[in-house]
Amino acid sequence: MSAAAAAAAAAAGPSAGRATASDYPRFDPLPARQLEESSPSRAHGIDWKTELSYRKVTSGLVYSTACGQSFLKLTDFTAARAVTLFNRFYARCSFHTIDRWHIAPACILLASKIDNSPRTARDVATAFFVARCEKKHQHLIQRVYDPAWVAAQVALVVEAERAVLFALNFDLLVDIPGSWILPALRALGLPLPQQGREPRGASEAAALDLVRKTYSLLAAVHSSRDAVLLHVTHAAADVGKAALLMTVMLTDYPLPLPAGSCFADHVGSPAGTLAEICERLRGCFAADTPGSKITAEAARARALLRAAAPPAPAAAPAAADGGGGAAGGEPAAARPQGGGSEAAAAAADAAVAAAAAEAAPLADSPPTAHDSASSHAATAGTALASRKRGREDGGSGGGGSGAAAEGGAPAAKQQHLQQQQQQQQQQQTRAV
């Protein structure tokens, strides 16, 4: 059956009249067992192993043609979208009905239009044919120089594009697993460098290396026999998150998960789904590599591993005096208490009284001019020291200590005046 006849059959649908939305509903992920048992290709004698081989070879060729060495120069996301469209189409149609070598370039053409980077049907048909014949049939590449042959190929690709649109019911909303990587890592607070800027520091370089290895793993999905079914059996978001989990396990990268949470809780995907996808992602690795040894049980355990709480801060060392002491280690009696002003005033009064007692003349010896001058100097020095102490106490927090020290100065002056009067009386007595 030609591509035009297949497109008409797809448009007709199961009903006899015009196709309706119920004939071809929106595409939902299919279980792998259901696809293996009831794939449309089974009705035409194509077994499951052969179908997997068709999907693997053609998907890898679609990806390499779109973003490989060909002159199309499409992005990785556009190539992944084309691969997804191809596998979705053959989940609803048989490989026997329409030639896969026509559907594959049609999916590339359609994906380029979806991503607003359209390529012409002539360029797509030519690039895909060259990529197909590059390894085993290089002698056929000269056909691209025949205008009539190229025109015929372009017509077949355009008809196949219509068949894809009708088979998928114009459902062109195709998510890409790689589009979920950066949002998931930014939500974790990883220090990712800005686009177009070189990483600064070891932390940004390690995070960027994690992203690149995850993208490399997703690129290998398109050419893996076991993993290629992930385009139709699981949601793109779960595939991207499972690839990130597997890369974290391989690189042992310490994800900054919140305390008490696990990877499955943070990304919002069930641990069983992530483990099932990781089991299929093992097919992207060689038999003797660490990636091929990651089992579904190990992936599930890693997805459910709870992040430990941060360590508690160390307690402050006890004071040397054993009490509620300060850092200086001074005794409690020497530190000012709540009533510091009263204690400072009492200490100032006691100091003034002691100084006055030492400066007072003895009762049995008459005062002399030297004694009077010494007494006057001692009293003045005591008063000055009291004022200075009062200012220091007032500046260190004793609210009324400065006032109390100032109050001691008039008392010393009055005592000095009394001593001068006594000296004058004694001098008058001697004169008489």
Q: Is residue 314 part of a domain?
A: no
Same domain, 8 and 126: yes
Same domain, 156 and 185: no
Question: Which residue range forms the structural domain that includes residue 214?
Answer: 178-192+202-303
Same domain, 87 and 15: yes
Same domain, 182 and 76: no
Q: Is residue 309 part of a domain?
A: no
Same domain, 68 and 154: yes
Same domain, 166 and 188: no
- How much is the pLDDT for 126? 93
| Domains of the chain: total | 3
Give the CATH number of the domain where residue 119 resides.
1.10.472.10
- How much is the pLDDT for 11? 46
Q: Is residue 294 part of a domain?
A: yes
Last residue of a domain, one of 256, 286, 303: 303
Same domain, 231 and 372: no
Q: Is residue 197 part of a domain?
A: no
Q: Which residues of 323-338 are buried (b: 16+ CB within 10 A; e: fewer)?
A: eeeeeeeeeeeeeeee
Last residue of a domain, one of 242, 277, 303: 303
Q: Is residue 409 part of a domain?
A: yes
Q: Is residue 265 part of a domain?
A: yes
Same domain, 134 and 277: no
Within the chain, which residues score under 50 in pLDDT?
1, 11-17, 319-341, 356, 358-380, 382-383, 392, 394-407
